[in-house]
């Protein structure tokens, strides 16, 4: 039976540095499955520059918590053995695992090297602001502890095209390395003139040895972990031709079902459209534009016209290539792309991604489990579980929209015979109490429906025409349908990512 698919981003920035994260995943997998979550996106599993690195300061892609490097054997999240055990348990629970892979840069080199660079303007990386000069850069990666296991490849400055620190002078800047094939890649995002360079030692995909090594690494990682796909980090900074080839080669090796979603953090729709064209629509993208629509809606309150919530979003234009989300680790408070969706609007936003037919929704760990750190944010699990359960049991069938009022909108899913008891009516308000008169279908006539969120008490009986008046409290969401709260869920993963 075809089921709705739901992803969980299984981390936030302030995961404790205790090495227990993979163990936590193994423990929580059965609970996730019970609420219809059948995909988890795990944080970068490779050894970072320190043991408390979140994984984006990647040092050694072949160390998954196996070698005594950078402060210990385990990564921030645990050991290689614990990682593989957690993935195996997820698979047992019918949950697929997407691994976060960082292929833009490397950090934490063992040695510096002397080489020539030119400095570029940080706001226009195409503009050179110095004559060539020599620096000492952290670009020599020998991995002496690993000593050639899994790969003999050693990195040096010839494999990079940029860095951000001159150790000789103790000076930060953006330095393009001089030499043949050291120009910035042209097939990247055009922000700052050219956004090939992001941080640390920037991997240069013009070099064939680098291209071949990263292809080898991608295959090694998937074979080793038995993950089901990749979340590609920072792809707007990576040569888009390489991304297209990487996806093609991984699928040639692991099959067409090997899943890809990319982080292309740019709210501009045209930029995402251009990227999808360059990679032949072979991957999905996170719908950053929709996230910012949610952010704006939460800030503006009743002044935001809910009828426009999907304007300019990826899910509106390319629903089969959109991974929808409300917040993630980069948008959470205190981070570089902070744009935290206000708490009052969170349930409305989650209803908009979980209970509609388009997009592949991703629930954020920071919302579901909570955010730790100096300014903790509590879990919203009690609000999210009813929405997840409604997605698992109710949100099927034809979708009919009632986007006819600026502050109160709704839609229905009419249900299917295949999913017994399915069908729902969803109503949102960002202002006062309201209602929507909506038709759910004569097949539901005479049935009694309740608000499964608990936001609105009472019951509704569907009339002989298959219609009813569905109320909603101001500033909340109500999801009306048959109550399935005591019904177990079994969700085998299939190949279709649509709902």
Same domain, 368 and 410: no
* Dist CA 109 CA 365 (whole Å): 31
**What is the predicted pLDDT for the residue at 487?**
60
Last residue of a domain, one of 165, 188, 206: 206
Strands (E), 122-194: 124-128, 133-140, 160-166, 171-177
- DSSP structural state of residue 178: P
Q: What CATH number does residue 445 fall under?
A: 2.60.40.1180
Q: Which domain holds residue 160?
A: 106-206
- DSSP structural state of residue 184: P
Any catalytic annotation for residue 263? yes
Q: What CATH number does residue 247 fall under?
A: 3.20.20.80
The tokens describing 253, both together, are 């090796």
Structural contact between residues 377 and 346, judged by C-beta atoms closer than 8 angstroms: no
| 233-to-176, 260, 261, 301, 313 alpha-carbon distances in Å | 22, 11, 9, 32, 20
Same domain, 272 and 379: yes
Last residue of a domain, one of 342, 374, 393: 393
pTM, two decimals, is 0.95
Last residue of a domain, one of 348, 376, 393: 393
User: Is residue 473 a part of any domain in this protein?
Assistant: yes
User: Is residue 269 a part of any domain in this protein?
Assistant: yes
* Dist CA 481 CA 187 (whole Å): 48
Same domain, 327 and 200: no
* Dist CA 9 CA 99 (whole Å): 10
Same domain, 134 and 88: no
pLDDT, tens digit only, all 499 positions of the chain: 789 999 999 999 999 999 999 999 999 999 999 999 999 999 999 999 999 999 999 999 999 999 999 999 999 999 999 999 999 999 999 999 999 999 999 999 999 999 999 999 999 999 999 999 999 999 999 999 999 999 999 999 999 999 999 999 999 999 999 999 999 999 999 999 999 999 999 999 999 999 999 999 999 999 999 999 999 999 999 999 999 999 999 999 999 999 999 999 998 899 999 999 999 999 999 999 999 999 999 999 999 999 999 999 999 999 999 999 999 999 999 999 999 999 999 999 999 999 999 999 999 999 999 999 999 999 999 999 999 999 999 999 999 999 999 999 999 999 999 999 999 999 999 999 999 999 999 999 999 999 999 999 989 999 999 999 999 999 999 999 997 766 654 443 344 433 3
The residue behind tokens 């085998």 is 492
Strands (E), 282-378: 284-286, 322-325, 360-364
User: Is residue 79 a part of any domain in this protein?
Assistant: yes
Choosing from 53, 119, 263, 367, the catalytic residue is 263
**What is the predicted pLDDT for the residue at 493?**
36
**What is the predicted pLDDT for the residue at 488?**
52
User: Is residue 66 a part of any domain in this protein?
Assistant: yes
**What is the predicted pLDDT for the residue at 485?**
65
* Dist CA 420 CA 437 (whole Å): 24
The tokens describing 303, both together, are 């002044």
Same domain, 224 and 235: yes
Q: What CATH number does residue 162 fall under?
A: 2.40.30.140
Total structural domains within the chain: 3
User: Is residue 499 a part of any domain in this protein?
Assistant: no
Structural contact between residues 291 and 327, judged by C-beta atoms closer than 8 angstroms: yes
Same domain, 372 and 245: yes
Same domain, 124 and 170: yes
**Residue 5 marked ligand-binding:** no
The per-residue b/e assignment along 390-423, b for 16 or more CB within 10 angstroms, e otherwise, is bbbbbbbbebeebeeeebbbbbbbbbeeebeebb
- DSSP structural state of residue 226: -
Same domain, 359 and 437: no
Same domain, 251 and 379: yes
Structural contact between residues 460 and 446, judged by C-beta atoms closer than 8 angstroms: no
User: Is residue 490 a part of any domain in this protein?
Assistant: no
**Residue 237 marked ligand-binding:** yes
Pairing verdict, β 360-364 and 7-9? parallel
Nearest to 212 by CA among 152, 279, 259, 144: 152
Same domain, 416 and 286: no
User: Is residue 486 a part of any domain in this protein?
Assistant: no
Residues, the chain: 499
Same domain, 239 and 256: yes
| Beta carbons within 8 Å of 456's beta carbon, 6+ residues apart | 471, 472, 473, 476, 478
Report which secondary-structure segment, H or E, holds 450. strand 448-451
**What is the predicted pLDDT for the residue at 397?**
97
* Dist CA 288 CA 267 (whole Å): 5
Choosing from 53, 164, 213, 233, the catalytic residue is 233
User: Is residue 496 a part of any domain in this protein?
Assistant: no
**What is the predicted pLDDT for the residue at 1?**
74
Pairing verdict, β 171-177 and 111-121? antiparallel
Nearest to 470 by CA among 450, 487, 489: 450
Same domain, 456 and 352: no
**Residue 104 marked ligand-binding:** yes
């Amino acid at each position: 039976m075809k089921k709705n698919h739901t992803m969980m981003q299984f981390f936030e920035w302030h995961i404790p540095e205790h090495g227990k994260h993979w163990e936590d995943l193994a423990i929580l997998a059965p609970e996730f499955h019970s609420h219809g979550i059948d995909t988890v996106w795990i944080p970068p599993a490779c050894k970072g520059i320190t043991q408390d690195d979140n994984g984006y300061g990647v040092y050694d892609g072949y160390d998954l918590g196996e070698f005594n490097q950078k402060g210990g054997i385990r990564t921030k999240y645990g050991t290689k053995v614990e990682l593989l055990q957690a993935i195996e348990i997820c698979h047992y629970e019918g949950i697929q695992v997407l691994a976060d892979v960082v292929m833009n840069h490397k950090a934490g080199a063992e040695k510096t090297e002397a080489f020539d660079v030119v400095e570029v303007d940080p706001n226009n990386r195409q503009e050179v602001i110095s004559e060539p000069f020599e620096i000492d850069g952290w670009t020599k990666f020998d991995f002496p502890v690993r000593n050639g296991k899994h790969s003999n490849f050693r990195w040096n400055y010839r494999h990079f095209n940029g860095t951000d620190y001159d150790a000789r002078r103790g000076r930060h800047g953006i330095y393009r390395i001089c030499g043949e094939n050291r120009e910035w890649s042209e097939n990247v995002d055009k922000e700052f003139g050219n956004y090939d360079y992001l941080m640390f030692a920037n991997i240069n995909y013009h070099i064939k040895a680098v291209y071949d090594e990263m292809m080898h690494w991608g295959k090694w990682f998937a074979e080793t972990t038995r993950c089901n796909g990749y979340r590609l980090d920072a792809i707007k900074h990576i040569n888009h031709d390489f991304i297209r080839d990487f996806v093609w080669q991984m699928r040639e090796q692991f099959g067409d079902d090997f899943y890809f979603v990319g982080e292309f953090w740019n709210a501009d729709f045209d930029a995402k459209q251009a990227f999808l064209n360059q990679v032949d629509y072979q991957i999905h993208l996170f719908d950053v534009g929709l996230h910012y629509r949610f952010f704006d809606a939460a800030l503006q309150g009743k002044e935001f016209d809910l009828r426009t919530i999907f304007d300019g979003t990826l899910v509106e234009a390319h629903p089969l290539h959109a991974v929808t989300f409300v917040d993630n680790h980069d948008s959470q408070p205190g981070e570089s792309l902070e744009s935290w969706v206000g708490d009052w609007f969170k349930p409305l936003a989650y209803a908009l991604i979980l209970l509609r037919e388009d997009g592949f929704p991703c629930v954020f760990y920071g919302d579901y489990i909570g955010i730790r750190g100096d300014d903790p944010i509590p879990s919203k699990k009690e609000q999210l579980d009813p929405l997840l359960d409604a997605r698992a049991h109710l949100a099927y069938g034809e979708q009919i929209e009632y986007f006819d009022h600026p502050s109160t909108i709704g839609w229905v899913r009419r249900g299917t015979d295949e999913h017994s008891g399915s069908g729902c009516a969803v109503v949102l308000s960002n202002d006062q109490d309201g209602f929507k008169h909506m038709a759910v279908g004569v097949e539901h006539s005479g049935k009694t429906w309740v608000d499964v969120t608990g936001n609105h008490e009472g019951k509704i009986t569907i009339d002989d025409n298959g219609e009813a008046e569905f109320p909603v409290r101001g500033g909340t969401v109500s999801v009306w349908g048959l109550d399935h709260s005591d019904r177990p869920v079994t969700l085998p993963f299939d190949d279709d990512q649509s709902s």
